[in-house]
Amino acid sequence: MDTFATWTTQGIIAGSGGVMTTEGGPITGDLTVHTTWIDGQAQVTVQHTGASEWYGLAGSPVPADDEPTARHAHQAAVELVKDGGGSVFHFPAA
């Protein structure tokens, strides 16, 4: 059996320029961030809060050997959305 965990943070107002996604380019506004950790990777997706379509966060998935690291990656993604700037996710941040 695989070890996995998920985290979701709703109601994040993206900073100016939003955040870059793999499918939709930059998205802005009131966003929800969802992270799934499985098989040593944290996959981060975002959506407009309340919408049905999810977008992969550009730069995701990222390596996360354990659950605390994956949880830290989720929080880093939340902060990236808040910062905006059309940024791509880099974890750990350089």
Asked whether 64 and 37 are in contact (CB, 8 A), the reply is: yes
Instruction: Return the sign of the alpha-carbon dihedral for residues 30, 33, 77, 27.
Output: negative
Asked if the structure places residue 92 within a domain, the reply is no
Asked if the structure places residue 17 within a domain, the reply is yes
Q: CA 90 to CA 87: how far, in whole Å? A: 9
Asked if the structure places residue 91 within a domain, the reply is no
Asked if the structure places residue 78 within a domain, the reply is yes
Asked if the structure places residue 47 within a domain, the reply is yes
The pTM of the full predicted model, rounded to 2 decimals, is 0.93
**Total domains present in the chain:** 1
Asked if the structure places residue 21 within a domain, the reply is yes
How confident is the prediction along the chain (94 residues), in pLDDT tens digits per residue? 468 999 999 999 999 999 999 998 999 999 999 999 999 999 999 999 999 999 999 999 999 999 999 999 999 999 999 999 999 999 986 5
Look up the domain containing 70 and give its range.
4-83
